[in-house]
């Protein structure tokens, strides 16, 4: 399994600068058009259930990453889920998730 972590971190940085990213399940379920949702496998069961229910209504799936990989990408162990709102950034991140 080989994620392109440096590239993904760069794209996440672009999303943060352009304010096209949401952090946390509560903010994600308030969004209108998530393009890509990434979550840590360490996300709580009830939060994951809430997130999956929301994404089912959007015909999307959550992409689960290992705790260590997700923490390295986000540079924080406190963030467990993010949503990318920009289509181009979401596609670029998807291409660098080579373990899927």
Tens digits of residue pLDDT in 34-67: 999 999 999 999 999 999 999 999 999 999 999 9
What tokens were used for 43?
A: 């996300």
The predicted-structure confidence for 72-99, as pLDDT tens digits, reads as follows 999 988 999 999 999 999 999 999 986 5
The predicted-structure confidence for 26-42, as pLDDT tens digits, reads as follows 999 999 989 999 999 99
Residues counted in the chain = 100
What tokens were used for 89?
A: 């950034």
Q: What is the pTM of this model?
A: 0.89
Please give the pLDDT value at position 2: 62
């Amino acid at each position: 399994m080989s994620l392109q972590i440096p590239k993904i971190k760069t794209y996440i940085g672009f999303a943060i600068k352009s304010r096209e990213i949401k952090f946390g399940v509560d903010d994600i379920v308030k969004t209108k058009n998530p393009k890509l949702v990434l979550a840590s496998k360490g996300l709580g069961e009830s939060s994951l259930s809430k997130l999956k229910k929301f994404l089912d209504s959007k015909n999307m799936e959550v992409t689960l990453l290992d705790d260590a990989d997700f923490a390295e990408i986000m540079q924080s162990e406190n963030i467990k889920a993010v949503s990318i709102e920009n289509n181009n950034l979401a596609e670029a991140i998807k291409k660098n998730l080579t373990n899927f």
